[in-house]
């Protein structure tokens, strides 16, 4: 396939490289990032998109996605598919999809899970919203860039799945960190707590697979001085998107709101920026009342 790839940063770069390695013709555009191996540089986003069967975007936020979409949609040929892999607000995803479809294009919102490691290894999970036909067109590319692609529904459903999942993740991580900090103060050994909770009704992915306590459970960022697998500021971004969506949809998400508030304080007022989102544990351990 002829592929245009716009946004070649930490995530987009390795994704584009994997597509090129698989034999696809990839033209890339980024304002700052270097071209990955095998990817041809385009001078503009429009040049990357023109003549492409599929245009993939991996961008920082909804406002930038809207701006890029406005630029590239007129350059794309009818029947081509615009597939956005960024994590953005649901309203932006739906607005861009409507604009693409009005121009005779397919449109998908396909945010990812798996981080930079998954992008490099080609083991991402894609949560995809859009038409069956557009999904079928891009599925072979998802299979190269990732290990799983779930078609979640119509436009916006991919973003909805991502932010609902990550709202659960943020809330659960805070609860797990609070529980370890409480266990410490009660004199309960962390390993003993893990042994009980990981096989009892309190078990969760944050406890069993990504334990925030160093030396407990499988290896996690906690064992690497909380260097990010998933940075706290990215969790804050996703929690803010969940609350924006909740407001837009008139949904009641008090725990999601509280998690967003706590991560905001951690990132903006404390030492959370650039640390893994599980570094909430030392934050709770060190915190004094008042």
Q: What is the mean pLDDT of residues 33-58?
A: 97
Under 8 Å between Cβ of 277 and 170: yes
Catalytic positions are 162
Tokens read off for 183: 């266990």
Contact 223, 215 (CB under 8 A): yes
| 96: nearest Cα among 195, 6, 23 | 6
Q: What's the CA gap between 255 and 239, in Å, rounded?
A: 10
Q: What is the pLDDT of residues 186-216, one digit of tens each?
A: 999 999 999 999 999 999 999 999 999 999 9
Query: Residue 126, Cα to own-chain centre: how many angstroms?
Result: 9
CA 41 to chain centre: 25
pTM of the model: 0.92
Per-residue confidence (pLDDT) for residue 287, from 0 to 100: 76
Arithmetic mean of pLDDT, 223-244: 96
Overall average pLDDT of the 279-290 stretch: 81
Contact 16, 5 (CB under 8 A): yes
Examine the pLDDT at 255 and tell me if it is beyond 50. Answer: yes
Q: Residue 98 forms beta bridges with which residues?
A: none
The DSSP element (H or E) to which 197 belongs, if any, is helix 190-197
The average confidence (pLDDT) of the chain is 97
Structural domains in the chain, sorted by start:
2-154 (3.40.50.720), 160-286 (1.10.1040.10)
């Amino acid at each position: 396939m002829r592929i245009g790839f716009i946004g070649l940063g930490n995530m987009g770069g390795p994704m584009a490289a994997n597509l090129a390695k698989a034999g696809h013709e990839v033209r890339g555009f980024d304002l700052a990032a270097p071209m990955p191996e095998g990817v041809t540089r385009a001078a503009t986003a429009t040049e990357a998109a023109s003549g492409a069967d599929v245009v993939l975007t991996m961008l920082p936020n909804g406002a930038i996605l809207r701006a890029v979409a406005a630029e590239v949609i007129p350059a794309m040929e009818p029947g081509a598919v615009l597939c956005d892999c960024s994590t953005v607000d649901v309203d932006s995803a739906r607005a861009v999809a409507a604009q693409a479809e009005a121009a005779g294009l397919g449109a998908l919102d396909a945010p990812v899970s798996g981080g930079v490691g998954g992008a490099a290894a080609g083991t991402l999970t894609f949560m995809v919203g859009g038409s069956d036909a557009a999904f079928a067109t891009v599925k072979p590319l998802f299979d190269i860039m990732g290990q799983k692609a779930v078609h979640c529904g119509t436009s916006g459903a991919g973003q909805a799945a991502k932010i609902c999942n990550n709202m659960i993740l943020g809330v659960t991580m805070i609860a797990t960190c609070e529980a370890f900090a409480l266990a410490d103060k009660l004199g309960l050994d962390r390993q003993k707590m893990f042994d009980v909770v990981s096989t009892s009704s309190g078990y969760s992915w944050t406890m069993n697979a990504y334990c925030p306590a160093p030396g407990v459970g499988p290896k996690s960022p906690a064992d690497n001085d909380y260097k990010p697998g998933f940075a706290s500021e990215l969790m804050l971004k996703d929690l803010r998107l969940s609350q924006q969506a909740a407001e837009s949809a008139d949904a009641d998400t008090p725990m999601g709101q509280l998690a967003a508030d706590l991560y905001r304080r951690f990132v903006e007022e404390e030492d959370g920026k650039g640390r893994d989102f599980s570094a909430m544990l030392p934050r709770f351990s060190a915190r004094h009342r008042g």
